[in-house]
Copies of this chain bind each other. A is one copy, B any other.
Amino acid sequence: MNVHIDSTATDRVLAPDELEAALRAIGAERYHHLHPFHRLLHAGALTRGQVQAWALNRYYYQAMIPIKDAHALTKMPAPELRREWRRRIIDHDGDGPGTGGIERWLKLAEGVGLDRSYVQSTDGILPGTRFAVEAYVNFVRDRLILEGIASSLTEMFSPGIIADRVRGMLAGYAFITEETLAYFTPRLTQAPQDVDFALRYVKAEARTAAEQAAVLAALRFKCDVLWAQLDALYLAYVDPGLIPPGAFVPAAE
């Protein structure tokens, strides 16, 4: 595995607030709210089949998040750190049947007309989705916990995109209801809580220029993971519509 050295790094150690500003600057340039697929999704400009492709592929990302977070737990020596982080697993997996973020995503997928067991099989997802999501899981497994925690910081930028998405999708698609989008409601409070902890951790623990460069590179990597998933969707289902062999083919509309 290549180590990705941040070519913009200097030897100067940033003050914690400078580090936060540098992290926010990465989001402003590279977060996937800028991707044309999201602009179309939120503008109500996609077909039902294209929205299905998004829900189907994004399911794999949702489903692997607790695996990613379990890898993070394995690198946390202190109970208080693990207590904080395990909340993410609980948020996604729920407290019993029919609860949790993954279940809510399945309801979203069913709400847009997909079959639950087809979604769960992940048979129809794009190879580009699979490779990007697994790159994220492997990154957290293989790197320092500082880098793993930093890679979660794309959530700094998510409340804005979620608000846009829910408003835009409810207005733009007759087949979308508030109930279908129930996944996103708790995320609006969970994400800031998660970010609050992760950002404090990163600002406190990245003390050397090399550690700060690794933190910035981790966030850039994670932006690539999110962006590449939309690239794969765009190529296959929007323009030029090049669906790879074996992937989901929307029904004619």
Residues of A bordering B, CB below 8 Å: 1-2, 7, 29-30, 34, 36, 122-123, 126-128, 130-132, 134-135, 137-138, 220, 223-225, 227-228, 231-232, 234-236, 239-240, 242, 244-246
Contacts and interface: CB of A to CB of B under 8 A. Distances in A.
Contact of A131 (B34, B135, B235, B240): B135
Contacts of A137: 1
Contacts of A227: 127, 244-245
B131 A245 contact: no
B132 A127 contact: yes
Nearest to A127: B224
A134 B127 contact: no
A131 B29 contact: no
27 contacts: A1-B137, A2-B130, A29-B245, A34-B245, A36-B242, A126-B228, A127-B132, A127-B224, A127-B228, A128-B128, A128-B131, A128-B132, A128-B228, A128-B232, A130-B224, A131-B132, A131-B225, A134-B138, A138-B138, A224-B244, A227-B244, A228-B232, A231-B232, A231-B242, A231-B244, A239-B240, A240-B240
A136 B251 CA distance: 32
A240 B240 CA distance: 7
Contacts of A224: 127, 130, 244, 246
Contact of A239 (B138, B231, B239): B239
Nearest to A245: B30
A60 B155 CA distance: 30
Contacts of A131: 128, 131-132, 134-135, 225, 228
A245 B131 CA distance: 19
Given A128-B231, A131-B225, 17 more contacts: A1-B134, A1-B137, A36-B242, A127-B132, A127-B224, A127-B225, A128-B228, A130-B135, A131-B131, A131-B228, A135-B135, A138-B138, A224-B246, A231-B244, A234-B235, A234-B242, A239-B240
